[in-house]
């Protein structure tokens, strides 16, 4: 149907105009009553291509469109007629003009005037043609004499070229031209929108700040083009890890940000951060070279760590700062005491430097045992520091501090010389293993340090084993290869520690001359759990080592159920507390002097997650009462708490660990004022060697639930939220006991 046929009925009523109207006007003037001339004018307009006329019925179906529209859509009008307008067109969510956030369907249902609404033709030109076209829609709702809606009559035009230019300009303004990721401007705007929406609806929102480690080294050694190529590959890897869980942006340089809506599970966030770090730490092929970097991550969660963009980003930035200064290649959650931790680490670094200068450090030796006869065949040297004021300081704390200042090179040199000297006094059948950090390994003087330690001690080089982790491969590939070659020429053994925790271990085995693999303790910890594949992974690693002609040591065996599993998987050499903790050198020499050093396994029947000794105040909540208690030790699955008398086994309680961390648990042991509890949901790593609950309870929710004010985290609370009905409270069932020193 042409324009004449369709619009004739709309113009017939104008034919009653007076016959002498316009008698004095030129003959070519078209009068309102001249229907034929008016319809001809409409057809001339359609053919000129300035736009297309269209009309819909009251239900929103297209009942007319100019024939010339086929030039833009690739579809004949007959293919479009009868279809609902929302089948044919849709509002574009990427519209840079942002005239309206309301969908096209809503605009039509409002039955109001439409002016220059940008819509996207939804059908495409054909099944195989992906090219899109955009139209500008204007329309007037048509009402009959009784006011009933009869449909739309309107005008449309193809604005694809103009619109694509706007899209390109918008993309250049909001997206990083190198990686295609959102830029700082877009991420800030997006985070503002999401924080406002999520906080107002009491939903959570996580932000990860991510910084690449050793990126400057790639730029300096391989050039800026290589650095640009690496950044593109980083963006691709981030997309593969994050998928549709969040939005990724490059803020500039080697700094990235990830926004994760509706995420507050610190277990899931920690796993994602770990996966990102592992993925970004794998080698990058660049122009025939191999570049390796690392990554550090800081995490903050709204509303706990900030309720606006500035606070949330600041919290994540501070967590990132601590992560980078804790040895890099790690993640950290924001906590209120991060500033205090940074100062504490600075003081501890100075104390460590002084301890090294005064030879106040020590090495302890953990036996490696042959399973078939329980004979000790070697030792791993482990560094120990007894601080004059703090007592024993964990290597997990002071080793990363040493790496921050390159003090680790001096520490490593000291450990090598001490271990070789001690091992030279042991039987020749005993090997000694020494851990080597990535920074120490990449030191140009490292092979010379090893050579000096061997020569001065008189130790047979074959008795010295250097334990390396995959992080050594993050240095320059040529330097790494030369160092491996120099070490093998010295005759020392090389072991790949923590095997199985990275993503590219097999490629390392292919390119590096390792003599031994060490199965990471994390697999042993979970090898007895039927729902995990840890036992199968252990078996696979043992099988792989046998095929490659390498020996393998299974680390961290602490209980008989674990021992039986790894034995069934084919393990021959074991290292773990079921045989012995690390021993002082005097104790080692005493046992060796007695003849054969054989250790019978001794430990619990079943493995229980490591408990960490602590001493801090917490809350113990039972029914509607909160008692004060002291946390004595804690693990992923349970804790030991002091402070209540008369608590029966099986009692359900909640531990208030602070900052909204509530752990639901059941009393499993009770003796006098000490109780043991098992958590309903296991705790997760906090990224700093500690433990935390997966979720936190909003302080407002705590207040609304009637928690006593002293139980709430610091903050401002509306008094109407706090339900205090003392009359309805039950009497406390347990006796609170004051704990000395608490």
For the domain that residue 388 is a member of, what is the CATH number? Answer: 3.20.20.450
CA distance 372 to 579: 13
CA distance 132 to 123: 9
CA distance 283 to 477: 9
Q: Is the pTM of this model over 0.75?
A: no
Helix (H, G, I), strand (E, B) or coil at 49: coil
Residues 304 and 364 placed together within one structural domain of the fold: no
Q: Angle at the Cα of 555 (from 553 to 556), degrees rounded to 5?
A: 160
Task: Please report the pLDDT score of residue 728 as a whole number.
Answer: 54
Residues 152 and 284 placed together within one structural domain of the fold: no
Q: 160 lies in a domain?
A: yes
For residue 82, what is the domain's CATH number? Answer: 3.30.450.20
Residue 45, burial from CB neighbour count under 10 angstroms (0-12, 13-18, 19+): middle
Residues 239 and 365 placed together within one structural domain of the fold: no
**CB of 672 closer than 8 Å to CB of 737:** no
CA distance 424 to 419: 9
Q: 30 lies in a domain?
A: no
**CB of 518 closer than 8 Å to CB of 555:** yes
Residues 269 and 371 placed together within one structural domain of the fold: no
Residues 508 and 650 placed together within one structural domain of the fold: no
For residue 318, what is the domain's CATH number? Answer: 3.30.70.270
Helix (H, G, I), strand (E, B) or coil at 487: helix
Chosen domain end from 110, 134, 166 = 166
Residues 719 and 682 placed together within one structural domain of the fold: yes
Residues 6+ apart with CB under 8 A from 438: 469, 471, 472, 474, 475
Residues 332 and 350 placed together within one structural domain of the fold: no
Residue 119, burial from CB neighbour count under 10 angstroms (0-12, 13-18, 19+): buried
Q: 161 lies in a domain?
A: yes
For the chain, residues with pLDDT lower than 50 are: 10-18, 99-101, 125-128, 130, 709-724, 742
**CB of 52 closer than 8 Å to CB of 156:** yes
**CB of 495 closer than 8 Å to CB of 518:** yes
Residues 6+ apart with CB under 8 A from 448: none
Q: How far is CA 161 from CA 157, 166, 347, in A?
A: 12, 9, 63
Residues 464 and 524 placed together within one structural domain of the fold: yes
Residues 87 and 132 placed together within one structural domain of the fold: yes
Residues 639 and 542 placed together within one structural domain of the fold: no
Chosen domain end from 319, 336, 353 = 336
Task: Please report the pLDDT score of residue 418 as a whole number.
Answer: 96
CA distance 364 to 111: 82
What letter would DSSP give residue 732? Answer: P
How many alpha carbons fall within 13 Å on the CB side of residue 85?
29
Chain CA centroid to CA 123, Å: 38
Q: 26 lies in a domain?
A: no
For residue 687, what is the domain's CATH number? Answer: 2.40.10
CA distance 315 to 12: 71
Q: 130 lies in a domain?
A: yes
Which phi-psi region, left, alpha or beta, contains residue 295 (left: φ > 0; alpha: ψ -120 to 50)?
beta
Domain with 401, as residue range(s), is 342-589
Q: 597 lies in a domain?
A: no
Q: Residues 250-288, buried b or exposed e (16+ Cβ, 10 A)?
A: bbeebbbbbbbeebbbbbebbebbbebbbbbbbbbebee
Total domains in the fold of the chain: 4
DSSP per-residue letters across 139-153: EEEEE-TT--EEEEE
Q: 519 lies in a domain?
A: yes
CA distance 359 to 417: 12
Overall size of the chain counted in residues? 742
Residues 160 and 184 placed together within one structural domain of the fold: no
Chosen domain end from 308, 336, 364 = 336
Residues 523 and 635 placed together within one structural domain of the fold: no
Q: 283 lies in a domain?
A: yes
């Amino acid at each position: 149907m042409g324009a004449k046929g369709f619009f004739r009925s709309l113009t017939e009523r104008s034919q009653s105009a007076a016959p002498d109207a316009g008698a004095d006007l030129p003959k070519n003037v078209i009068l309102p009553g001249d229907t034929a001339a008016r319809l001809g004018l409409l057809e001339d307009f359609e053919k000129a291509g300035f736009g297309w006329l269209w009309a819909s019925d009251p239900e929103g179906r297209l009942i007319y469109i100019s024939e010339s529209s086929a030039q833009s859509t690739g579809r004949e009008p007959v293919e479009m007629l009868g279809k609902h307008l929302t089948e044919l067109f849709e509002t574009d969510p990427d519209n840079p003009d942002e005239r309206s956030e309301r969908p096209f369907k809503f605009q039509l249902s409002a039955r109001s005037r439409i002016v220059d609404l940008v819509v996207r033709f939804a059908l495409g030109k054909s099944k195989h043609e992906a090219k899109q076209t955009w139209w500008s829609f204007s329309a007037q709702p048509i009402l009959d004499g009784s006011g009933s809606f009869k449909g739309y009559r309107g005008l449309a035009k193809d604005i694809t070229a103009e619109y694509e230019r706007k899209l390109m300009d918008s993309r250049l303004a909001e997206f990083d031209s190198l990686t295609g990721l959102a830029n700082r401007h877009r991420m800030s705007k997006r985070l503002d929108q999401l924080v406002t929406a999520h906080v107002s609806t009491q939903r959570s929102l996580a932000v990860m700040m991510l910084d690449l480690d050793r990126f400057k080294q790639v730029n300096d050694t391989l050039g800026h083009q290589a650095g640009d190529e690496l950044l593109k590959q980083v963006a691709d890897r981030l997309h593969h890890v994050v998928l549709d869980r969040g939005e990724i942006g490059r803020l500039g340089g080697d700094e990235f940000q990830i926004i994760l809506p509706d995420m507050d599970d610190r277990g899931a966030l920690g796993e994602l951060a770990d996966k990102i770090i592992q993925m970004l730490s794998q080698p990058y092929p660049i122009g025939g070279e191999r570049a390796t970097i690392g990554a550090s991550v800081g995490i903050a969660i709204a509303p706990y760590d900030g309720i606006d963009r500035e606070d949330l980003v600041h919290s994540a930035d501070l967590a990132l700062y601590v992560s980078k200064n804790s040895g890099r290649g790690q993640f950290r959650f924001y906590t209120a005491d991060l500033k205090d931790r940074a100062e504490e680490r600075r003081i501890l670094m100075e104390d460590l430097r002084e301890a090294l200068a005064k030879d106040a450090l020590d090495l302890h030796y953990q036996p490696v045992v042959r399973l078939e006869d329980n004979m000790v065949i070697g030792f791993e040297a482990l560094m120990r520091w007894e601080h004059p004021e703090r007592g024993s300081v964990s290597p997990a704390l002071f080793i990363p501090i040493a790496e921050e200042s390159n003090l680790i090179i001096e520490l490593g040199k000291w450990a090598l010389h001490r271990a070789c000297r001690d091992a030279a006094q042991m039987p020749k059948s005993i090997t000694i293993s020494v851990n080597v950090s990535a920074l120490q390994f990449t030191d140009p003087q490292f092979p010379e340090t090893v050579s000096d330690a061997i020569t001065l001690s008189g130790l047979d080089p074959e008795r010295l084993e250097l334990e390396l982790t995959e992080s050594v491969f993050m240095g320059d590939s040529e330097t790494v290869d030369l160092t491996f070659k120099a070490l093998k020429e010295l005759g020392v053994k090389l072991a790949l520690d923590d095997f199985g925790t990275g993503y590219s271990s097999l490629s390392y085995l292919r390119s590096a001359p390792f003599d031994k693999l060490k199965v990471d303790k994390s697999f042993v910890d979970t090898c007895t759990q039927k729902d995990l594949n840890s036992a199968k992974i252990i078996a696979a690693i043992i099988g792989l080592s046998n095929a490659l002609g390498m020996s393998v040591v299974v680390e961290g065996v602490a209980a008989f159920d674990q021992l039986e599993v790894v034995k069934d998987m084919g393990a021959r050499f074991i290292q773990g507390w079921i045989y012995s903790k690390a021993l002082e050198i005097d104790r080692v020499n005493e046992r060796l002097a007695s003849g054969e050093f054989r250790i019978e396994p001794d430990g619990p029947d079943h493995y229980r997650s490591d408990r960490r000794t602590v001493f801090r105040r917490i809350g113990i909540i039972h029914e509607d009462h909160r008692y004060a208690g002291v946390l004595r030790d804690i693990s992923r699955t349970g804790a030991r708490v002091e402070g209540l008398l008369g608590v029966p086994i099986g009692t359900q309680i909640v531990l208030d660990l602070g900052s909204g961390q509530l752990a639901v648990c059941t009393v499993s042991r009770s003796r006098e004022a000490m109780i043991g509890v098992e958590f309903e949901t296991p705790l997760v790593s906090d990224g700093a060697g500690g433990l935390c609950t997966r979720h936190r309870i909003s302080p407002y929710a705590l207040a609304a639930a009637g928690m006593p004010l002293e139980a709430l985290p610091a903050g401002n609370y509306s008094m109407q939220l706090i339900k205090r009905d003392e009359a309805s409270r039950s009497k406390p069932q347990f006796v609170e006991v004051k704990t000395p020193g608490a």
